[in-house]
A and B are shown apart, each in its own frame.
Chain A
């Protein structure tokens, strides 16, 4: 590499470096989607941190599992399968309206966006209610033993994501309903993107909490 210019200078400069505009960017769009928006990257960053949190909980689950000769521990019933499975199915179903409102948002199609957003909100509220029921489906209180604590930790950690996503969708739906700022469309699409992640990470958690105790 050849280096010229300032490198030879012994002392610095007083004045700032003059800037000479050579390109005009005023015709670049200000509403873009997907990985072209910073919010997509921000959401992805939070996903990484949340995935790490969940992985810490799941790792703790398997670590504790090694400490037991029988799993779940003696006199601790297995978790129910019915409610969690329904909840899982509802969660996966909630992705359909999410996909649809994200698609509509990219077309700036307000009626379709709103319609599918409200459907998504309803489905996610049902999923949240089912998740609350899942805590009793675990059939054990969090303070009974370490197995109970880690199982609760996994379900609860994901519950916070579900709750956050539900509330976020609700909030966006209300904003879109009442205001409709154009620059919110990318955020709406982002919201669906987050939902995909939220449902995807639940699947290994579901397997861990509800199926693994039946298998080991």
Chain B
């Protein structure tokens, strides 16, 4: 009897440890090569309408980059190198909308963000269809989410090596996403 209770107790502890370990492994995994180059995952995420304000329908594709420190960091590098800041100004907004706030015109889920990058949006956001691989899209989306604290703190990037324009993502407080004021559709609210 007692042995069994002990076993159950230890089993529980072991399960919690295993979960912790699994989370740590997932957070630190360096995925170099698991996106099959021949099947662009974002095909499933394309919108059936280009009307602004309509977030993507419920999708089954799950972003592999959520909560992964390496992917978010890669997204951050791509964001800077591809000059997203040219319009979004390190997330503060300029010609394009700010990305650090909690207003989301086209939805805040990774799939929404990927769709926005792939399709482009009216008033300036160009379409990057065919130019960015699926993996890189997820990485970018994860980074964009981390800019307003939608990603967990532990995998979010620290400060960059360079001029400091904004608070680094891991110290950015979580901000409950909401649809932009002018839009009516509610966005899924989610916590990392």
Contacts and interface: CB of A to CB of B under 8 A. Distances in A.
Interface of A: 143-145
Contacts, number: 4
A144 B159 CA distance: 11
A119 to B, nearest CB: 42
Nearest to B171: A143
4 contacts: A143-B159, A143-B164, A144-B164, A145-B164
Interface string B155-191: 0000100001000000000000000000000000000
Contacts of B164: 143-145
Interface in B110-162: 159
Contacts of A143: 159, 164
Main secondary structure of the interface of B (DSSP, over half): loop
Q: Give the size range of B's interface with the partner.
A: under 10
A26 to B, nearest CB: 52
Nearest to A145: B164
A12 B164 CA distance: 71
B106 to A, nearest CB: 32
Nearest to B164: A143
Nearest to B163: A145
Closest 4 CB pairs of A and B: A143-B164, A143-B159, A144-B164, A145-B164
A55 B94 CA distance: 45
A145 B163 CA distance: 9
B137 to A, nearest CB: 31
B159 to A, nearest CB: 7
A128 to B, nearest CB: 27
B118 to A, nearest CB: 35
B180 to A, nearest CB: 30
Contacts of B159: 143
A59 to B, nearest CB: 22
A53 to B, nearest CB: 24
Contacts of A144: 164
A145 B164 CA distance: 8
A187 B7 CA distance: 49
B166 to A, nearest CB: 11
Nearest to A144: B164
A143 B164 CA distance: 9
A144 B163 CA distance: 10
A174 to B, nearest CB: 38
A144 B164 CA distance: 8
A183 to B, nearest CB: 43
A52 to B, nearest CB: 28
Interface string B3-18: 0000000000000000
A164 B174 CA distance: 35
A143 B159 CA distance: 9
Nearest to B159: A143
A146 B136 CA distance: 33
A39 B108 CA distance: 60
A127 B1 CA distance: 60
A8 B159 CA distance: 69
Nearest to B167: A143
B162 to A, nearest CB: 12
A36 to B, nearest CB: 50
A183 B159 CA distance: 51
A144 B167 CA distance: 10
A68 to B, nearest CB: 15
A148 to B, nearest CB: 11
A70 B170 CA distance: 31
B165 to A, nearest CB: 12
